[in-house]
Chain A
Amino acid sequence: MSNLTEIKTLSKNGLWSNNPAIVQLLGLCPLLAVTGTVVNAIGLGLATMLVLLMSNIAVSLIRNYVNDSIRLPAFVMIIASLVTCAELLMQAFTYELYQILGIFIPLIVTNCAILGRADAYASKNNPLFAAVDGFMMGLGFLIVLVLLGAAREVIGQGTLFSNMHLIFGDMAHAWEITLVDDYSNFLFAILPPGAFVGMGLIIALKNWIDTEVERRKVSNTEQIKGSKRVRVTGNIS
């Protein structure tokens, strides 16, 4: 049973309360740079998620054999090899997307969220938990990427899910939704400053939801009406 509760905690952490993108604010460089459209966001998010999952498992497997003082170089080696695999896979199966994302695929190596999870969690826990942690953190990252990508695509170009065939093949040509015909592109949303503003709004929304939830909890527990004052001096008449 304790396995299940641990997995539940890991999921909640990765997806919400310790989300790598909107709480830990790690990996912001790719997050801000490539979320111009949903397809770019999904491409990079999936690659990051894959690397995070595999690296967490690998780090967890070797955790008892690697000396503490050289653990970070070892982790980076593992992550770099996995990123190379992801890059080659993307080059093979989604070549156009690989070209669009460009330097940001190799740069997944430097995504602090991955090294952070390897050092903070995977190097101290068994492979099953490490895998769940990596998957949930990766999923949390992916969701934020897609959310930001969708918002920027809608505001910037007036479309949603354009070019999805780059990942999902020819059947995805029809997925594109044009929300506004004859839309004059709002370049600000597509340019990096728009990513910062959008990211700020997503973080603000998350914080607002958290405080709202907290407030409701408090108002639910405060049911006892009337004075609770206790008299400590004088005589009670």
Chain B
Amino acid sequence: MGLLTRSSPHTKQNQSTSSIMRWVILLCIPGLIAQTYFFGWGNLHNVLLCSITAVLSEAAILALRKRRIGFYLSDYSALLTGVLLGIALPPLAPWWISVIAASFSIIFVKQLYGGLGYNPFNPAMAGYALVLISFPLAMTSNWASPTTLQENFPSVQQTLASIWEIENAPDGYSGATPLDVYKHEVKASTYEAITSQDIFGSGIVLGWEWVNVAFLLGGLGLLALRIIPWQTPAGVLLGLALPAILFSSNPDQAVPLSIHLLAGATMFGAFFIATDPVSSSTTPRGRFIFGLGVGLFTYIIRTWGSYPDAIAFAVLLMNFAAPLIDVYTQPRTFGHNKAKRGPKAKV
């Protein structure tokens, strides 16, 4: 009689890697719909192009490494990287930016380190940072203006012509992001004067706030499905909100809290980027610290750095720190009185 064939633990894992990745991709859809509604077809096109590039790069490298292509592709991680990149890149970025970012993410940041599970950095954000540093002009001048400000909703042909550099986009088609505008004008202007501009709309920032709300909804879905831990997004939002409340209470002098939270990539970063299970911290307390760091660095770079948004850099900086955070935040093991933490703990 062989009743026990396996040793403990006997818990059942009901989430496979591929199902997690699929859910994350699915819950990006509300945000993508909002992006498409407010900023036109650019993001959808980029998601498609980045995904194709990412999957092809992954297949090519797997073939070079003589691994099972179908097996590794079906974990959907390359597809997810492509989708996240497509969402993050400026909607009207030229096609070669998407191709360079996606192929660099997969080939250099992920596969050269050994593939899924071995990459110390978030592939999508490293690819994003690469193109942001390499092509500053193309990455700042290709954000789409909100479609509601334009005479009619930009057509697919117009978007494609602009991305594939067939013809120049019409005036008013692209513009700076609200974070960029606020950051540069706040020194010489007041809150009322800045927010009376069209791109800030009647509320906080035109379009961006609904994009962020949509990503927040998707993120809450991920939380409800227990795909992401609550500690990371809570940390990110707290890490960004606390300094914003403390130091930016006067909206005439610094970007106010509402714009910090609802403009740029805040919600997308907090729920979809910082929660990457591979490159983030692995302990519950560590994830909170990781999130806090991401939020804090985002605030610091947005306020004093030269880039208007900073989720990518903040995530990459904290990826550096994640292994160290793990060393100092090991939870107590069941059956032991004290947690084994710090550099001298025996693993």
B133 touching A191, Cβ below 8 Å: yes
Minimum C-beta distance from B208 to chain A (A):
27
A186 touching B108, Cβ below 8 Å: no
B138 touching A188, Cβ below 8 Å: no
Q: How many residues of B contact A (CB 8 A)?
A: 8
A187 touching B108, Cβ below 8 Å: no
Per-position binary interface string of chain B over residues 313-346, scored 1 when its CB falls under 8 Å from any chain A CB and 0 otherwise = 0000000000000000000000000000000000
Minimum C-beta distance from B66 to chain A (A):
14
B134 touching A188, Cβ below 8 Å: yes
**B136 nearest in chain A by CB position:** A187
**B130 nearest in chain A by CB position:** A188
Number of A-B residue pairs, CB cutoff 8 Å, is: 16
Which of A184, A185, A191, A197 gathers most chain B CB within 10 Å?
A: A184
Q: Say if the beta carbon of B153 comes within 8 Å of chain A.
A: no
**A186 nearest in chain B by CB position:** B134
Q: What residues of B have a CB within 8 angstroms of the CB of A191 in the complex?
A: 133
Q: Say if the beta carbon of B135 comes within 8 Å of chain A.
A: yes
Q: How far is the CA of A185 from the CA of B137 in the complex (A)?
A: 10
Minimum C-beta distance from A152 to chain B (A):
13
- Partner of A184 from B108, B130, B133, B135 at Cβ < 8 Å: B135
Q: What residues of A have a CB within 8 angstroms of the CB of B137 in the complex?
A: 184
**B112 nearest in chain A by CB position:** A200
Chain A interface size, under 10 / 10 to 19 / 20 to 34 / 35 or more? under 10
Minimum C-beta distance from A36 to chain B (A):
14
Q: How far is the CA of A188 from the CA of B130 in the complex (A)?
A: 7
Minimum C-beta distance from B74 to chain A (A):
28
**B131 nearest in chain A by CB position:** A188
Which residues 97-150 of B sit at the A interface, judged by CB distance below 8 A?
A: 108, 130, 133-138
Q: What residues of B have a CB within 8 angstroms of the CB of A197 in the complex?
A: 108
Q: What residues of A have a CB within 8 angstroms of the CB of B138 in the complex?
A: 184
Minimum C-beta distance from B45 to chain A (A):
20
A188 touching B108, Cβ below 8 Å: no
Q: What residues of A have a CB within 8 angstroms of the CB of B134 in the complex?
A: 185-189
Q: What residues of B have a CB within 8 angstroms of the CB of A185 in the complex?
A: 134
Q: What residues of A have a CB within 8 angstroms of the CB of B108 in the complex?
A: 197
Q: How far is the CA of A186 from the CA of B130 in the complex (A)?
A: 10
Q: What residues of B have a CB within 8 angstroms of the CB of A188 in the complex?
A: 130, 133-134
Q: How far is the CA of A187 from the CA of B108 in the complex (A)?
A: 17
**B135 nearest in chain A by CB position:** A184
**B96 nearest in chain A by CB position:** A184
**Ranked 10 nearest A-B pairs via Cβ:** A188-B134, A187-B134, A186-B134, A188-B130, A188-B133, A187-B133, A184-B135, A197-B108, A184-B138, A191-B133
A-B pairs with beta carbons under 8 Å apart, 16 shown: A184-B135, A184-B137, A184-B138, A185-B134, A186-B134, A186-B135, A187-B133, A187-B134, A187-B135, A187-B136, A188-B130, A188-B133, A188-B134, A189-B134, A191-B133, A197-B108
Question: Interface on B for A, CB 8 Å cutoff?
Answer: 108, 130, 133-138
List 14 other contacts, CB 8 Å, given A187-B134, A188-B134: A184-B135, A184-B137, A184-B138, A185-B134, A186-B134, A186-B135, A187-B133, A187-B135, A187-B136, A188-B130, A188-B133, A189-B134, A191-B133, A197-B108
